[in-house]
Structure 1
Amino acid sequence: MILTVTPNPSLDRTYELPGLTRGTVLRATTDRVDPGGKGINVSRAVAAAGHRTVAVAPLGGPEGALLTRLLGEHGIEAAGVPIVASTRINVTLVEPDGTLTKVNAVGPQLTGAEAEALLEAVRIRSAGTDWIACCGSLPRGLPPQWYAELVARSHRAGVRIALDTSGAALTAALRERPDVIKPNAEELAEAVGRPLATVGDAVKAAEELRERGARAVLASLGADGQLLVDGTGTYFGTARVQSVRSNVGAGDASLAGFLAAGGSGPAALAAAVAHGAAAVQLPGSVMPTPADLDLSAVTTTPDIPLDRPLKEPAP
């Protein structure tokens, strides 16, 4: 069972447009609303794979009530922590060539009591959990050390932690030695304070984060693939993708695949790559089911192409 923690969840509204022209009235060809937030996306992918998952999140207002209902429709048990403010709504505009324009709301501000209630909800629901996945930005009212406190408490309870966040929250949490962190290339560059131009640069950055406390680093490099750097070695995974429809939630799907496959080693990396590749070929933030996965299109290797330039260098 995988428990997810999403401190700043959302309702994700996606519009597919024939084109995006500023200052005009646009009519969508399709639209959808999905439960959103990085941890909730992980729960959706875990549930789509047929595994049990519980989603812990602060939920408020009619938006929070709708989010709870949508989670139930996805087969996810919602462990909502009531808050006074309303859950945020994010909007994604998708053009025919796959270009995305995202508008993310800032989200509610949590009180000190609500922040502590969130930690307590994780403690109560973590019994029998294989992994806790803590994902996304921290809402207003939660200090950067909040994730570090969550990692420390969870480790004292004997539960493994996967952390997908960035900036000061990631830096603060490293000292508590999260079992897995999952940065993308931009977050990896930010964490080490230098640009990444090659796969080798990404490997060095991941190794540095391990030296600073992370037990394993699963790094998403976009179209270039994914890296896994842990105590057993370094592995590189890629997949053939026919066409990209939407990359919203693809990294979250990757983390779900990785954890559901055990959370370590090249087999888990292959599952992560397969989930991410499947997700980018689906609309909006739809999470892949087992029928969408194509492991035959995935390649993993310990022979890292260190000199390969990144298609999307991280500044």
Structure 2
Amino acid sequence: MARILTLTLNPALDLAIRIGSIRLGEVNRTESTRIDAAGKGINVARVLAGLGHDVTVSGLLGTDNETLFVRTFTELGLHDAFIRVPGETRINAKLSETGGRVTDLNGPGPMIPAHALDALTERLESLLPGLEAVVISGSLPPNVTPAKLASLVFVARARRVPVWLDTSGAALVAGLGARPSGVKPNEKELADWAGHPLDTSEARLQAALRLNSEGVEDVIVSAGAEGVIWAQRGDALMAESPRVSVVSTVGAGDTLLAGMLHGVLSGWPREQGLRFATALAAESVRHIGVGDPRTADFEQLQRQTIIRSLTSDARTGGSLG
């Protein structure tokens, strides 16, 4: 399997809370709680390691509450290359209500010393030889600039290592300027980049194709129940997700990205990779945590995932909705 590095600049301890419905200003009883070492890159690493890849995790990690992260990395067989920084890694609360609504309460993250950012660049350069892909995902700590994220993309691309980017806002704009190999925005993140609403599949497709034309070879657009668009060098596919009961959408996008990267690095046909990744993301929303391809009905979920060519639809005048 492939050697992959994930970079998480702003990891978190995710406190996942299941509750029937939230009554603001009152005492609420939870159905369950759990806390996990998380952050988007770490979630991606969980999936990729479970699929058999050799995964190294890096980024910026607070020393004061690193114990659960270190234990998790050991349990999952991940290589720990995080740069330690003073203070605590942030804690995020994820409140999942019956019916699938999720409320995120995300902390800002610690202040990062300048020397730690220099050390992270040096660490990245030392890890690049032999890598088949780098994933840079998640938000930025308060004093880390979007330009710094872009510089990390540049460093990897200068060594001709494929870089997949999953972030938002100014960080996404800056990162795209460094021309990553692939990017995975959701529909809101893509609309923020485009500067106007993307309320239809056609609008999302055109925005994805625009990114292709600007040098980003692979664009994966996730739109929840409305499916997934994969535009690659001007040729686009769409996956219609299987219908499942939603418990939590936290980690679904990370699962999708990991599943896509698994298919690409395994040399699968595009239809096979998109079907696998979309089904795996659908599996993930049925419970708290990332997707599990070993679940008993995963093959059925893949069969229920419909793939079609948007490029063919456009050529024949078909409507994308």
* Match among 294, 305, 312 for residue 298 of structure 1: 305
1:114-263 alignment runs, 5 A limit: 114-231=116-233, 233-262=235-264
* Match among 245, 265, 268 for residue 270 of structure 2: 265
Q: Does 1:275 align with 2:277?
A: no
Q: Does 1:288 align with 2:292?
A: yes
Task: Note the aligned Cα RMSD (angstroms).
Answer: 1.8
Kept in 1: contact 2:279–2:302 (CA 8 A)? yes
Q: Taking structure 2 as the reference length, what is the TM-score of the superposition?
A: 0.90
Equivalent residue, structure 1, for 2:20:
18
User: How far is the alpha carbon of 1:207 from its aligned partner?
Assistant: 1.4
Secondary structure in 1 aligned to 2:94?
strand
Kept in 2: contact 1:174–1:213 (CA 8 A)? no
Equivalent residue, structure 2, for 1:312:
none
Deviations 1:85-104 (Å, cap 9, x if unpaired)?
21001011112222211110
- Tell me which amino acid in the other structure corresponds to 2:294: P
- Tell me which amino acid in the other structure corresponds to 2:279: A
User: How far is the alpha carbon of 1:149 from its aligned partner?
Assistant: 1.0
Equivalent residue, structure 1, for 2:61:
59
Equivalent residue, structure 1, for 2:75:
73
Q: For the residues of structure 1 that align with 2:271 and 2:193, how far apart are their CA atoms?
A: 24
Equivalent residue, structure 2, for 1:82:
84
Kept in 1: contact 2:62–2:89 (CA 8 A)? yes
User: How far is the alpha carbon of 1:180 from its aligned partner?
Assistant: 0.3
Q: Taking structure 1 as the reference length, what is the TM-score of the superposition?
A: 0.92
Kept in 2: contact 1:45–1:289 (CA 8 A)? no
Bigger relative contact order, structure 1 or 2, given CA contacts below 8 A and separation 6+?
Answer: 1
Secondary structure in 2 aligned to 1:53?
strand
Q: For the residues of structure 1 that align with 2:74 and 2:174, how far apart are their CA atoms?
A: 33
Kept in 2: contact 1:85–1:108 (CA 8 A)? yes
User: How far is the alpha carbon of 1:77 from its aligned partner?
Assistant: 2.2
* Structure 2 residues not aligned, in runs of 5+: none
* Match among 98, 103, 111 for residue 109 of structure 1: 111
- Tell me which amino acid in the other structure corresponds to 2:292: P
- Tell me which amino acid in the other structure corresponds to 1:134: I
Kept in 1: contact 2:242–2:279 (CA 8 A)? no
